[in-house]
A and B are shown apart, each in its own frame.
Chain A
């Protein structure tokens, strides 16, 4: 009988030992993360920097990172998309050096960051226009702000109500982690909600895909994503119809233009500073124009 007991006790104690070590391991990892936050900036230089966030800023950051790494072969810049909200959340958690965003940080996000010991500093690196796009076969080529608001908040559901064919409007929007989603909501919807039956696409690429194939679709995308597969409409924000072209965005007449930001924890240092300096230099700003955005003044 004691033989059986010995077996049970030894099996049980080994399992218990394993569980204890697992839980201790979890505890140790947690306490390390908190103390590492403040020394993050100094360590960043040795292991490369991470730029994460807005899908709108993504093509720009990728091009800048490539050119930067070609000039400085010992430096590493990793660029990840996911939406402005994703990048800002990662900055608040102290996981990355630069958050790229196509919208400003909200008050609640700044507070959350400060509670975590992160002091967000905003850098405007470029300007962008939001193009409202429809299918190239769609006869509608211009919309007023009121019409756009009606389409997006649910009041207008057929193209014939805005001068088009008799066809149902398929309204497309980004998901809520997108800065473009937030910006569009503030500018066009103001205090209304997006209509509940709007199609939600997880990425700008998805919007381009659907609008290019669906004759009744309408969506909004960053200017850099405009290509021949979709058609941008001219917008009237109260001062006449303005086309979504480079000249109009640079001159400020196109109503839906917004700054693109890099957020850092405190003033940038080390590799982070070098990268941002590169982006703001004439070479970096030339890349901005190449991608299809507009240089920061």
Chain B
């Protein structure tokens, strides 16, 4: 009897420790990022970091401006969402409500395969196929633009949005749908006035996760956006090259002298990325709970 109790407690503590490791890792990551990021502001004012319009880390008077990089990330993500959200929700609706079981059985695995393709493969495809296509179709200086990045990013965020939205839509209780149909609505009316609003919390969670993936995407964007650190206009900025925050870190981390201002500036950018992802996750959670469909 005594031994059984001890075994129980032992297993409980083991499981607790496993869960604690995840929280500990996140905490340590946070500390690691912020510790080195804060050191930038010893020599370089925070206000300059936030408002400076240029990113010249290696010149004689280095200037570390977050704005062009942040806005680059934003414009690419907004473009990706404009492409992926309507397409994703529409696909999810088709797969869960309108497709025959055989068609759904083919479509769903294919979207999951799309999620498994490595991002560098997307980048390669973008560089070799999409970039010349866009340059010729729109007669631009170069095809390496925010638009190209948005399209690739949209393709990459699509499986996440489809998967989660599809799950949300299929878990709307049948009683609701059948009640709507029984009252005389058509199938489409049921879908767009009853089912989708009921699944809204899950769909928004899916969109938020898609955003999270888009903001942090490094390799693909580094290969197709041209990496020029200038502030993009909207919408003209879509047809010009941009640079995203993760691409900056990837491009410059290799050579930067340890302990220099440039080094700390890269960590500061990493911290900003961390904060953005954290905030997005909190908002996603909040939305999910607020719009939860209660029977």
**Beta-carbon contact of B17 and A14 below 8 Å:** yes
CB A92 to nearest CB in B, in angstroms, measures 8
CB distance from B103 to the nearest CB of A (A): 38
B128 touches A85 (CB 8 A): no
Contact A216 to B141, CB < 8 A, known contacts A18-B17, A206-B127:
yes
Q: How far is the CB of A212 from chain B (nearest CB, A)?
A: 10
Contacts A10-B9, A11-B13, A83-B255: A213 and B131 contacting too (C-beta < 8 A)?
yes
Q: Which residue of B lies closest to A212 (CB)?
A: B132
Residues 186-213 of A, flagged 1 when their CB comes within 8 A of B and 0 if not, give 0000000100111111100010011001
Q: Does B12 contact A (CB under 8 A)?
A: yes
* Alpha-carbon gap, A141 to B256, bound state (A): 36
Judge whether A176 and B142 touch: CB under 8 Å.
no
A18→B22 CA distance, assembly (Å): 13
Asked whether B131 lies within 8 Å of A15 as measured between CB atoms, the reply is no
The total of chain B residues at the interface (CB under 8 A) is: 40
Q: Is the CB of B251 within 8 A of A199?
A: no
Within 8 A of B (CB), among A98-114: 108-109, 112
Which of B51-59, B77-85, B154-162, B209-217 has 4 or more CB atoms under 8 Å from chain A? B51-59
Partner of A202, one of B56, B128, B222: B222
A170 near B141 with CB under 8 A, answer yes
Do residues B142 and A170 form an inter-chain contact, with CB atoms below 8 A? yes
Q: Is A168 an interface residue (CB 8 A)?
A: yes
Q: Are the CB atoms of A193 and B59 closer together than 8 Å?
A: yes
Rounded to whole Å, the gap between the CB of A291 and the closest CB of chain B is: 23
Q: Is the CB of A108 within 8 A of B257?
A: yes
Chain B residues, Cβ within 8 Å of A232: none
Chain A, residue nearest B54 (CB): A196
Tell which of A19, A82, A169 touches B24, judged by Cβ atoms closer than 8 Å.
A19
Q: Is A214 an interface residue (CB 8 A)?
A: yes
Q: How far is the CA of A217 from the CA of B230 in the complex (A)?
A: 19
B39-79 vs A, Cβ < 8 Å mask (1 yes, 0 no) = 00000000000000010111100000000000000000000
A11 cross-chain contacts in B, Cβ below 8 A: 9, 12-13, 16
A89 in the interface (beta carbon within 8 A): yes
Check A199–B144 contact: CB distance below 8 A.
Answer: yes
- Once the chains bind, are B251 and A200 in contact (CB under 8 Å)? yes
| B204 part of interface (Cβ distance < 8 Å) | no
| B142 & A15 in contact (Cβ 8 Å cutoff) | no
Q: Across the interface, do B13 and A197 meet the contact criterion of CB distance under 8 Å? A: no
Given A11-B13, A168-B141, A216-B142, do A176 and B59 touch, yes or no (CB 8 Å)? no
How far is B45's CA from A25's CA once the two chains are assembled, in angstroms? 36
**In contact, A86 and B254 (Cβ under 8 angstroms):** yes
Q: In the bound complex, do residue B251 and residue A177 qualify as a contact, i.e. CB atoms below 8 Å apart?
A: yes
Which residues does chain B contribute within 8 Å of A196, judged by CB atoms? Answer: 54, 228-230
Q: Does A5 contact B (CB under 8 A)?
A: no
With a CB–CB cut-off of 8 A, which chain A residues contact B245?
none
**Contact of A175 with B by CB under 8 A:** yes
Q: Which residues of B contact A93 (CB under 8 A)?
A: 258
Closest to B255 in A: A85
- Give the contacting residue for A15; candidates B16, B127, B143, B251; CB below 8 A: B16
**In whole angstroms, what is the CA distance A86 to B230 when docked?**
25
Given A10-B13, A176-B58, are A206 and B241 also a contact pair (CB < 8 Å)? Answer: no
Chain A residues contacting B230 (CB-CB under 8 Å) are 196-197
A201 (CB) vs chain B CBs: closest residue: B227
Contact of B143 among A177, A193, A214 (CB under 8 A): A214
Is residue B285 within 8 Å, beta carbon to beta carbon, of the partner chain? no
Chain B residues lying within 8 Å of A88, measured Cβ to Cβ, are 255
B206 part of interface (Cβ distance < 8 Å): no
Distance in angstroms from B129 CB to nearest chain A CB is: 11
B128 smallest CB distance to A (angstroms) = 7
B-chain residues with CB within 8 Å of residue A82 when the two chains form the complex:
254
Set A83, A84, A89, A175: member contacting B257, Cβ < 8 A: A89
| CA distance in complex: A14, B14 (Å) | 8
Give, as a whole number of angstroms, the nearest-CB distance from A178 to chain B: 8
Q: Which of A15, A84, A193, A199 contacts B227 (CB 8 A)?
A: A199
Instruction: Name the interface residues of B63-116: CB closer than 8 Å to any CB of A.
Output: none
- Asked if B135 is at the interface (CB within 8 A of a chain A CB), the reply is yes
Q: Which residues of B134-167 are within 8 A (CB) of A?
A: 135, 141-144
Q: B37 contacts the other chain (Cβ, under 8 Å)?
A: no
* Cβ–Cβ < 8 Å partners of B205 in chain A: none
The interface bits of chain A over 142-186 (1 if a CB of B lies within 8 angstroms of the residue's CB, else 0) are 000000000000000000000000001110000111000000000
Contact between B252 and A176 (Cβ–Cβ < 8 Å)? yes
Chain B residues lying within 8 Å of A175, measured Cβ to Cβ, are: 227, 251-252
What would 12 A/B residue contacts be, using CB atoms closer than 8 Å?
Answer: A15-B16, A18-B17, A85-B256, A108-B257, A170-B141, A175-B252, A177-B251, A202-B222, A202-B223, A210-B131, A214-B135, A214-B143
**20 more CB-based (< 8 A) A-B contacts, given A22-B24, A86-B254, A216-B142:** A10-B9, A14-B13, A14-B16, A15-B17, A84-B255, A108-B257, A112-B258, A177-B256, A193-B59, A196-B228, A197-B230, A199-B226, A199-B241, A200-B227, A200-B228, A202-B227, A206-B223, A209-B128, A210-B144, A213-B143
Closest 10 CB pairs of A and B: A85-B255, A177-B255, A200-B227, A86-B254, A199-B226, A170-B142, A168-B141, A175-B251, A177-B254, A11-B13
Residue positions of B touching A, CB distance < 8 A: 9, 12-13, 16-17, 20-21, 24, 54, 56-59, 127-128, 131-132, 135, 141-144, 222-223, 226-230, 240-241, 243, 250-252, 254-258
